[in-house]
């Protein structure tokens, strides 16, 4: 039996690579310094895995920005607009790479970055390859080969990790009409062949091809592409050993197809698809080995050795040990570095957890336990089982009152008292808002100063009262500014919040925060997801103080501002000892109580942000409805406890809703605000085709750029909106929160927006 891993985090346990990149970008260090930081990151990772006793160690899992962009450079799929930079200004290859990732505003150029999007259902973002009809490919970068040679020199037996050809194409986007990206297979194969030839010449034995699309819904054309590609590659390289890595889902209807691809090892994700193992070992062709992805690469909990050994044992009964590989379910890129660096955790809870470094150890112990060295690991096995036992029964996790409350949830709790048509009249009477009411999405510019107060407060350099006074001052300024601008529904500005999930996580019981649990989100950007470890409850109200304070300052309505249960769940590490739906319902109940408290405190408009509902959709379409049912029920549990005249808003970003519009309507929020300006209101079509009955605020300007829109521009967007949605259903607001903007542009933009709404009222 051999152990291997699919990839390791690369940003550095102290975020060294992040810092080196950012210093390089800002001109504070030299290219040499950055390259040195890269070498160190790789060397450290290799050494760590070597010491942990991992048999096959990956190379080319390192990246200065993103592994998909690395591949784009390797195969020479550089979009024309960047080639021009390379020709006209003499920049290093790495600078060209960063230009593609981040855009290039220098030497008279002003070129935007390539598009970025989410890597399957993770919070990692990759740079989307761009293809043209005449797309040419050629081996254009030595990264893969260089890192292989470097790893060999470091004394390990490296296994290059390469994004598989078909997945690489499927990750990309056609930039022109009239062709299908899969038609590019023929042109791309020679490049892969050149690359493999070079690796073979340097002595490579194993090659890992990441083909995550094999775990997704596949059409016939994609399947044909997979067959063609792997048959071609096999023909050319009968002696290389190919590991085909699938992850993030079970193989499902692609099972027999995958089992028959001409490779040497198939890696499967047993965390996501454990029940498939029986069928897979039954149907496994004789010349195919199996890599069991048993250690969870997407979460931070300890592996349950007893359960894993069962799976390994089952495999051993059918397969010789030399055909079995043990691995994490996917790359460890998605978990933090090292649990040992965490000093502030409750020891009992810490004992349930494993970060990347600990997961290496788990693999090694499992290998020994399963493969003839069990005696020397007996102690570790017992410790592991004790940790799981303590987790099953710990009073830190199990809160009986939360559990019994969950059982009592009924259909009724997910419904408002009356249908929207009746609520609408009551709300009109109670709120007295004009037509085309204007509002914002919640946050206002968060200056360095505001963030420095929070930092000082955390360090104890400001006491609670001083901090409170400062934040109140800022909130009051925001209220006055909104009054001056003439907005109809005001917000308090969210100055007390660092982040829309962290703020709530910190106040909920059953959720904890690591100090150094950073995970790469994109490029040099890292996030520290909250860890939901136990039954979630709300010891006291979380936002009433600030909303009430803001409301006391003005005669206009102030909108209460909450993050929804699905978004809190989606952006956290979630406990794996109960279904996610269960955990989500607990959060929903906590938010429900908060909504009720806000209403009691006189807040009559309450927004529950759910930007993550869409991104939580399962990778396989067949599972969508199941997810949507519980996810939307959670939103409804959170939002339905109020009276008819209290108005519930929700907000979502990136709102492509065509395929789930029915579910969005079922949420029954009185008002939904969505990001719309960059699509020129096109995203509203889904709502109009469906005859969406409730109110909608399509974003009328892009908040991602400092550009100030003109009144005319906004007015023309409003005209467009009225063509598809009746005027009495429309709100007027920006695309999203304004946290990252400056006040100067914000004031101008909002004034233009308010003007446009006033003009629209006249013409209707």
Q: Residues 732, 759: contact at Cβ < 8 Å?
A: no
* Distance in angstroms (rounded) separating the CA atoms of residues 677 and 2: 53
Site for ligand GLN in 492-531 (CB under 6 A): 494, 500
Q: Are 733 and 699 in contact (CB under 8 A)?
A: yes
Among 160, 611, 616, 734, binds ligand GLN (CB under 6 A): 611
Phi-psi region of 432 (alpha: psi -120 to 50; beta: other; left: phi over 0): left
Task: Give which of Zn ion, ligand GLN, none residue 741 binds (C-beta under 5 to 8 Å, depending on kind).
Answer: none
Nearest residue (CB) to ligand GLN, 442 versus 529: 442
Residue 202 assigned as binding residue: no
Q: Which of 736, 749, 750, 756 binds ligand GLN (CB under 6 A)?
A: 736
**Identified binder of Zn ion from the candidate list 462, 648, 653, 669, rule CB under 5 A:** 653
| 750 part of the interface to ligand GLN, by CB under 6 A | no
Q: Is 653 in the site for ligand GLN (CB under 6 A)?
A: yes
Whether 748 has a binding-site annotation, put simply, is: no
Least CB distance to ligand GLN at residue 84 (A) = 35
Q: Which does 297 bind (CB under 5 to 8 A by kind): ligand GLN, Zn ion, none?
A: none
Q: Could you give the string, one character per residue 144-163, with x where binding to ligand GLN holds by CB under 6 A and - elsewhere?
A: --------------------
Q: Are strands 519-522 and 525-527 parallel, antiparallel or unpaired?
A: antiparallel
Strand, coil or helix: 514 = coil
Residues 394 and 348 sit within 8 Å (Cβ to Cβ): yes
Beta bridge partners of 245: 210, 267
Q: In a 10 Å sphere around its CB, with 0-12 CB exposed, 13-18 middle and 19+ buried, how is residue 82 labelled?
A: buried
Q: Count interface residues toward Zn ion (CB under 5 A).
A: 2
CA distance 41 to 147: 12
How crowded is residue 434: how many other Cβ atoms within 10 Å of its Cβ? 10
Q: Is 15 annotated as a binding residue?
A: yes
Residue 363 lies near ligand GLN (rule: CB under 6 A): no
167 contributes a contact to ligand GLN by CB under 6 A: no
Examine residue 542 and tell whether it contacts Zn ion (CB under 5 A): no
> What are the CA-CA distances from residue 648 to residues 2, 151, 635, 638 (Å)?
55, 56, 11, 10
737 binds ligand GLN (CB under 6 A): yes
Of 4, 125, 267, 704, which one is the catalytic site residue?
Answer: 704
The residues with which 210 forms a beta bridge, in sequence order, are 163, 245
The yes or no reply on residue 547 touching ligand GLN (CB under 6 A) is no
Residue position matching structure tokens 């505001």: 450
Which of ligand GLN, Zn ion, none interacts with 592 (beta carbon under 5 to 8 A by kind)? none
Q: x/- binding map, residues 312-341, to ligand GLN, per CB under 6 A? A: ------------------------------
156 counts as binding Zn ion under rule CB under 5 A: no
Query: Are the beta carbons of 133 and 176 closer than 8 angstroms?
Result: yes
Residue 735 interacts with ligand GLN (CB under 6 A)? Answer: no
**What are the distances in angstroms from CA 204 to CA 161, 305, 327, 429, 485?**
11, 32, 20, 74, 65
Residues 571-610 as x/- pattern, contact with ligand GLN by CB under 6 A:
--------------------------------------x-
End-to-end CA distance of the chain: 74
DSSP H or E stretch at residue 148? helix 143-153
Query: Sheet of 531-537: strands edge to edge?
Result: 509-512, 531-537, 573-574
Calculate the CA 113 to chain-centre distance: 20
Q: Measured from the CB of residue 701, what is the shortest distance to Zn ion in angstroms? A: 13
Q: Catalytic: 492?
A: no
Contacts to ligand GLN from residues 428-447, by CB under 6 A: 441-443
Tell the smallest beta-carbon distance from residue 441 to ligand GLN (Å): 4
Count of C-beta atoms within a 10 Å radius of residue 31: 11
Judge whether 537 and 507 are in contact, CB under 8 Å: no
d(CA 393, CA 408) in angstroms, rounded, equals 22
The residues annotated with a catalytic role in the active site are: 704
Q: Binding site for L-methionine, residues?
A: 441-443, 494, 609
Q: Binding site for Zn(2+), residues?
A: 651, 653, 675, 736
| Contacts to ligand GLN by CB under 6 A | 441-443, 494, 500, 561, 609, 611, 651, 653, 736-737, 739
Q: Binding site, residues?
A: 15-18, 118, 123, 441-443, 494, 525-526, 571, 609, 615, 651, 653, 675, 736
| Contacts to Zn ion by CB under 5 A | 653, 736
């Amino acid at each position: 039996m051999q152990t291997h891993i699919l990839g390791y985090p690369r940003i550095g346990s102290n975020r060294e690579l992040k810092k080196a990149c950012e210093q390089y970008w800002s001109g504070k260090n030299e290219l040499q310094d950055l390259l040195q930081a890269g070498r160190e990151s790789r060397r450290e990772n290799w050494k760590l895995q070597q010491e942990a006793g991992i048999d096959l160690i990956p190379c080319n899992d390192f990246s200065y920005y993103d592994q998909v962009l690395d591949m784009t450079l390797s195969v020479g799929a550089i979009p024309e607009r960047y080639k021009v930079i390379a020709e006209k200004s003499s920049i290093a290859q790495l600078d060209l790479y960063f230009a593609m990732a981040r855009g290039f505003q220098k030497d008279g150029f002003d070129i935007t970055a390539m598009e970025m999007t989410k890597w399957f259902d993770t919070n990692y973002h990759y740079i989307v390859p761009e293809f043209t009809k005449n797309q040419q490919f050629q081996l254009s970068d030595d990264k893969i080969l260089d890192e292989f040679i470097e790893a060999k020199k470091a004394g390990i037996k490296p296994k290059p990790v390469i994004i598989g050809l078909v997945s690489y194409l499927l990750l990309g986007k056609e930039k022109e009409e009239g062709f299908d990206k899969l038609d590019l297979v023929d042109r791309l194969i020679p490049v892969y062949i050149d690359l493999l030839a070079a690796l073979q010449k340097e002595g490579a034995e194993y090659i890992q091809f990441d083909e995550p699309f094999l775990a997704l819904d596949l059409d016939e054309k994609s399947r044909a592409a997979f067959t063609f590609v792997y048959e071609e590659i096999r023909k050319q390289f009968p002696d290389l050993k190919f590991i085909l890595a699938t992850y993030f889902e079970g193989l499902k209807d692609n099972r027999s197809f995958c089992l028959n691809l001409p490779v040497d090892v198939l890696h499967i994700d047993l965390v996501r698809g454990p029940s498939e193992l029986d069928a897979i070992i039954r149907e496994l062709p004789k010349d195919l080995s199996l890599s069991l992805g048993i250690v969870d690469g997407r979460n931070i909990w300890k592996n349950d050795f007893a359960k894993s050994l069962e799976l390994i044992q089952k495999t051993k009964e059918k397969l010789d040990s030399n055909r079995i590989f043990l691995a994490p379910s996917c790359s460890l890129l998605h978990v933090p570095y090292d649990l040992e660096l965490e000093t502030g955790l409750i020891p009992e809870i810490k004992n349930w957890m494993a970060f990347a470094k600990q997961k290496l150890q788990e693999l090694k112990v499992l290998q020994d336990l399963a493969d003839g060295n069990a005696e020397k690991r007996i102690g570790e096995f017992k410790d592991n089982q004790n940790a799981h036992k303590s987790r099953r029964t710990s009073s830190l996790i199990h809160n009986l009152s939360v559990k019994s409350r969950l059982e009592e949830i009924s259909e009724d709790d997910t419904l408002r008292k009356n249908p929207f048509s009746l609520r609408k009249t009551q709300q009109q009477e109670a709120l007295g808002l004009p037509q085309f009411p204007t509002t914002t999405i919640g946050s206002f510019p968060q200056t360095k100063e505001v963030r420095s107060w929070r930092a000082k407060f955390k360090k104890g350099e400001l006491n609670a009262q001083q901090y409170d006074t400062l934040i109140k001052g800022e909130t009051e300024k925001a209220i006055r500014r909104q009054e001056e601008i003439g907005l109809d529904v005001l917000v308090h500005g969210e100055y007390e919040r660092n982040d829309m999930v962290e703020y709530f996580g910190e106040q909920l019981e059953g959720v904890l925060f690591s100090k150094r649990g950073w995970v790469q989100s994109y490029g040099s950007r890292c996030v520290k997801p909250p860890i939901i470890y136990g039954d979630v409850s709300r010891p006291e109200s979380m936002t009433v103080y600030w909303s009430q304070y803001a409301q006391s300052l003005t005669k206009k309505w102030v909108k209460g501002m909450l993050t929804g249960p699905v978004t809190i769940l989606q952006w956290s590490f979630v406990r794996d000892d109960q279904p996610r739906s269960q955990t989500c319902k607990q959060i929903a109940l906590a938010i429900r109580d908060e909504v009720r408290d806000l209403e009691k405190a006189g807040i009559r408009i309450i927004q529950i942000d759910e930007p993550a509902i869409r991104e939580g959709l399962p990778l396989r379409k067949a599972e969508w409805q199941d997810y949507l049912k519980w996810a939307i029920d959670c939103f409804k549990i959170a939002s339905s406890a109020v009276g008819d005249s209290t108005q519930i808003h929700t907000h979502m970003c990136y709102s492509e809703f065509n395929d789930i519009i029915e579910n969005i309507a079922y949420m029954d929020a009185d008002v939904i605000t969505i990001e719309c300006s960059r699509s020129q209101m096109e995203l509203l079509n889904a709502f109009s085709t469906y005859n969406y009955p409730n109110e909608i605020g399509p974003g009328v300007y892009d908040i991602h750029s400092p550009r100030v829109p003109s009144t005319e521009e906004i007015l023309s967007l409003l005209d467009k909106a009225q063509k598809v949605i009746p005027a009495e259903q429309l709100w007027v607001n920006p695309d999203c929160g304004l946290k990252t903007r400056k006040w100067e542009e914000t004031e101008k933009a909002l004034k233009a927006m308010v003007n446009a709404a006033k003009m629209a009222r006249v013409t209707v």
